[in-house]
């Protein structure tokens, strides 16, 4: 992974090729490697989901082509996600291929941790530098209910395996839902501090309808989570964004090496600094998490591969300015698992 000049081939005057019409530079790709998952988190997926047939999912070779095209266009960071990325056959081989790309500075992943016990070391060896692990509860029964059937012990073993694998950074992610796990904020932070890890709290987004789950009733703002943490631990200012960074706003937890991040798509719109796009497992380039603007990369790869990079460059002009999420009005029918979180 070495730096390159992404503007050479396209000869643009601007510093970077992937610049949208609001002058934002896209340097970060979230690549969903599958829409399938070994859990069914109640806020993410419906109980009975219809998954993509294999023929519609990009092959590993096609995913490598997509990653290569974006890196040649100036993307510096790729996050593998899903669904659960570790249920995709060949995930380590994909990481190895992407890890070799000249110009890519960071290859990272978001995982639910269930299979990390097996995969943490091979991923690290493949060149993955950082990993985010989602964990919404430290109580076994509650974890099972939240994920519909998950086993907390598997995730704990996954976290330990990641800690032993030598990643540059490991971050925990938690979605807090009012009346479900909002009493565990302090415990989750303490867990992160004890392990020497960072932790981010994510506001629930209204992506997809889920029977029996009313998003407007579970929504909780980062501000109230932050107050709980501030009261118990004390928070100090911290460095926030690097240029290929994500949407988390970080604070340092007093007297510890851990940071706590707040991802607040509902209460503190961060679209003005958006530097990322997503590609779904079926090859749909989503220009914004909260809008439907997209480009079918699978069709291009399979029928006119020579035009892939130019098509990506052109699509930037259609990246919307911002999302308008409303938990009472779910206009985006895609679930997060199909979007690539």
Q: Which stretch binds ligand SF4 (CB under 6 A): 33-41, 177-185, 192-200, 273-281?
A: 33-41
Work out whether 17 is an interface residue with ligand SF4 (CB under 6 A).
Answer: no
Which residues here bind ligand SAM, judged by CB under 6 A? 37, 43-44, 81-82, 84, 110-112, 134, 173, 175, 202, 204-205, 207, 336-337, 341
Told to check if 45 binds ligand SF4 by CB under 6 A, we report yes
Buried b (16+ CB within 10 A) or exposed e, 50-62: eebeeeebbebeb
- How distant, in Å, are the alpha carbons of 35, 48, 285, 320, 333 from that of 292? 17, 23, 10, 9, 10
- Stretch touching ligand SF4 by CB under 6 A, among 35-43, 210-218, 301-309, 323-331: 35-43
Q: Smaller CB distance to ligand SF4: residue 76 or 84?
A: 84
* Single residue of 18, 29, 31, 39 touching ligand SF4 by CB under 6 A: 39
CA angle 90, 92, 98 (to 5 degrees): 105
Smallest distance, ligand SF4 to C-beta of residue 8, A: 38
State the minimum distance, in angstroms, from the CB of residue 214 to ligand SF4.
18
CA distance 185 to 202: 12
Cα–Cα nearest to 213, from 71, 336, 47, 76: 47
State in angstroms the smallest separation of the CB of 16 from ligand SF4: 31
The CA distance from 158 to 98, in Å, is 23
Contact 117, 142 (CB under 8 A): no
Q: How far is CA 18 from CA 14, 32, 306, in A?
A: 9, 20, 18
Which among ligand SAM, ligand SF4, none contacts residue 40 (Cβ within 5 to 8 A by kind)?
A: ligand SF4
Asked if residue 112 binds ligand SF4 (CB under 6 A), the reply is: yes
The piece of 4-12, 37-45, 213-221, 292-300 that touches ligand SF4 (CB under 6 A) is 37-45
DSSP code at position 263: E
Quote the least distance from Cβ 218 to ligand SAM, whole Å: 10
């Amino acid at each position: 992974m070495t730096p390159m000049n992404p503007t050479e081939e396209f000869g643009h005057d601007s510093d970077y090729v992937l610049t949208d019409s609001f002058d934002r530079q896209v340097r970060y790709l979230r690549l969903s490697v599958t829409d399938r998952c070994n859990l069914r988190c109640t806020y993410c997926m419906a109980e009975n989901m219809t998954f993509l047939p294999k023929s519609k999912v990009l092959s590993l070779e096609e995913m490598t082509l997509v990653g290569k095209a974006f890196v040649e266009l100036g993307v510096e960071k790729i996050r593998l996600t899903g669904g659960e990325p570790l249920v995709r056959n060949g995930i380590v081989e994909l990481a190895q291929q992407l890890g070799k790309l000249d110009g890519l500075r960071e290859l990272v992943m978001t995982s639910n941790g269930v299979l990390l016990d097996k995969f943490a070391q091979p991923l690290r060896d493949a060149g993955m530098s950082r990993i985010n692990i989602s964990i919404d509860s430290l109580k076994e029964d509650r974890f099972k209910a939240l994920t519909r059937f998950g086993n907390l012990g598997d995730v704990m073993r996954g976290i330990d395996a990641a800690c032993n694998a030598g990643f540059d950074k490991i971050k925990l992610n938690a979605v807090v839902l009012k009346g479900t796990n909002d009493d565990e904020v302090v415990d989750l932070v303490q867990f992160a501090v004890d392990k020497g890890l960072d932790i981010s709290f994510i506001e629930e987004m209204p992506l997809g309808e889920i029977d029996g789950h009313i998003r407007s009733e579970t929504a909780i703002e980062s501000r109230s989570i932050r107050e709980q943490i501030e009261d118990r631990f004390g928070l100090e200012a911290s460095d926030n964004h690097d240029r290929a960074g994500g949407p988390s706003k970080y604070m340092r937890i007093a007297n510890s090496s851990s940071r706590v991040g707040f991802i607040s798509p509902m209460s503190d719109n961060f679209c003005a600094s958006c530097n990322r796009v997503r590609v779904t497992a079926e090859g749909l380039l989503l220009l914004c998490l909260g809008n439907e603007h997209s480009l079918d990369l699978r069709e291009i790869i399979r029928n006119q591969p020579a035009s892939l990079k130019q098509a990506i460059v052109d699509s930037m002009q259609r990246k919307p300015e911002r999302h308008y999420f409303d938990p009472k009005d779910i206009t985006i029918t895609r679930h997060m698992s199909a979007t690539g979180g």
